[in-house]
Structure 1
Amino acid sequence: MSTFRPYRFPPLSLPSVAAGCGNDAVQQQAQLAQGFQQGMESGFREGYDTGLEQGQRDGYAAGHSEGWQQGNASVQQQLSSRFDSLAQPLDAMLQALQQLQGDYQQALRREVVELVAKVARQVIRCELALQPVQLLALVDETLAALPPVADEQVSVFLNPEECQRIRELAPERAARWALTPDSRLEPGECRVRAGNHEADAGCRQRLDACIEQVAEQLAEPLPPEAAA
């Protein structure tokens, strides 16, 4: 703490007739100096206390604001870090769920395609068992796609049982071409030879083409309105 040295005014020159009052003047001068000193010290202490209090208030407010900002930033950083740590396993679970859903849909599509193929084969088998002559219609379609030849140059290879039943059920149509039994062919299968050209006129390759189209359609994503 700084101290102040009071300025002492020199005593006034008094006439000799007032020498009796010299002591009173000196005392007054001393009292004035003392009062001035006390006032200085009192004012300094008051100013110091006031400044200290104001400085403490300002410092507290500034420290509180800065501390709140730092604490808030720290909390946000901690929350963000914890959220990221919690989000990582959730993201992995979501990806696994999406993969599982995709695998399930793909397996479901395969099952649908297999079911359609199985049902179609069963229907074809039943139809041919009742009406094997329908194979001759497939022969007509196949010959229409080949270079034209005379009927005598056409040979139709069939399953032995179906070949016999066609001859019994439609002898006039069976006599149009040379029907040849072939034990290597399954029921519903048929091969056509027209001159130098040969083609598959059976049901399997036609069914396989249809099943392939069904699989492609099922593999396409559904439109939004259908998915909803």
Structure 2
Amino acid sequence: MSERLIPKERLSAYQRWEMASFDPPLPDVVDPVETARVAAQEEGYAAGYAEGTGAGHADGYEAGRAEGFDSGLADARAHAEQLAALVTAFTAAADALDAEMSESLMTLALDIARSVIRQTVQTDPTVLLGAVREVLSAEPPLVGAPILLVNPADLPLLDAYLAGELASAGWSVRGDAALARGGCRARAGSGEIDATLATRWTRVTAALGRENGW
């Protein structure tokens, strides 16, 4: 029997044969200290992460809330300023309108009063008597041959109502066509009194702060 040769490339390195063990493998030895350390590390990391995340969220929320509040407050202030400006403008317009209306009403009232006085003088000439009595009671009184000038149409009225009073006070009465009915003018050595309707009207309107001619 011839020997068969095994090619070299099929030869393997020499290994010692040993019987396999049938015992179960021993478990890895666990170091309790290392286990506790790792657990503590992981727990600390988890706690730190949660805390950091919570704090970051809270800070972000607070920052967002503060920013939103500031923005809302700025808008509210802007609207308040606009509203205040509108109120001011409305008040100014109302005041101007009120002043304009007051001015118009005053002008209307004076126009009506002037018209009424003129009509009254025409229908009731006795209104002259009030003006004459004011001249006679003026202070200081006129002295030095006082003269009362009236419209010639008013002479009969004075003769009927004030002739005795004027005579006893030393007054003389004369007619002056330049004077309108209802008024008079007094002259004396001590001065002069203008009691014409135009002058008396000017005094009244001036007292009211107006210039409204007769």
The verdict on a shared fold, with TM-score over 0.5 as the criterion, is yes
Structure 2 residues without counterparts, runs of 5 or longer: 1-25, 167-171
Aligned to 1:25: none
Please list the CA deviations of residues 22-56 of structure 1 after superposition, one character each: whole Å capped at 9, or x if unmatched. Answer: xxxxxxxxx899322xx344323322221122112
- Pairwise mapping of residues 74-153 of structure 1 onto structure 2 (< 5 A)? 74-149=67-142, 152-153=145-146
Give the whole-Å Cα distance in 1 for the aligned partners of 2:50 and 2:177.
110
CA contact (8 A) 1:146 1:197 kept: no
Aligned to 2:10: none
CA contact (8 A) 1:154 1:195 kept: no
> Closer, same or farther in 2 for the Cα pair 1:63/1:186, shift >3 Å?
farther
1:166 aligns with 2:161: no
1:122 deviation in Å? 1.7
The alignment covers a number of residue pairs equal to 178
SS at match of 1:132: coil
Single out whichever of 119-128 and 43-52 deviates more from structure 2: 43-52
Please list the CA deviations of residues 61-104 of structure 1 after superposition, one character each: whole Å capped at 9, or x if unmatched. Answer: 22222222221221121112222333333222221111111111
1:35 aligns with 2:23: no
Percent identical: 24
SS at match of 1:179: strand
Quick check: which has more Rg, 1 or 2? 2
Aligned to 1:197: 191
1:129 deviation in Å? 0.5
Aligned to 2:39: 46
Q: Looking at secondary structure, tell me which structure has more helix per residue.
A: 1
SS at match of 1:66: helix
Please list the CA deviations of residues 102-143 of structure 1 after superposition, one character each: whole Å capped at 9, or x if unmatched. Answer: 111111221222222122112211111112232132122123
> Closer, same or farther in 2 for the Cα pair 1:55/1:129, shift >3 Å?
same
What residue identity is the alignment partner of 1:201?
A
What residue identity is the alignment partner of 1:49?
E
Give the whole-Å Cα distance in 1 for the aligned partners of 2:107 and 2:52.
81
> Closer, same or farther in 2 for the Cα pair 1:53/1:208, shift >3 Å?
farther
Single out whichever of 65-74 and 201-210 deviates more from structure 2: 201-210
1:65 aligns with 2:53: no
Name the TM-score, length of structure 2 as normaliser: 0.67
CA contact (8 A) 1:132 1:165 kept: no
> Closer, same or farther in 2 for the Cα pair 1:153/1:186, shift >3 Å?
closer
- State the superposition RMSD in angstroms: 3.2
Give the whole-Å Cα distance in 1 for the aligned partners of 2:105 and 2:209.
9
CA contact (8 A) 1:133 1:169 kept: yes
Name the TM-score, length of structure 1 as normaliser: 0.64
Give the whole-Å Cα distance in 2 for the aligned partners of 1:79 and 1:182.
82
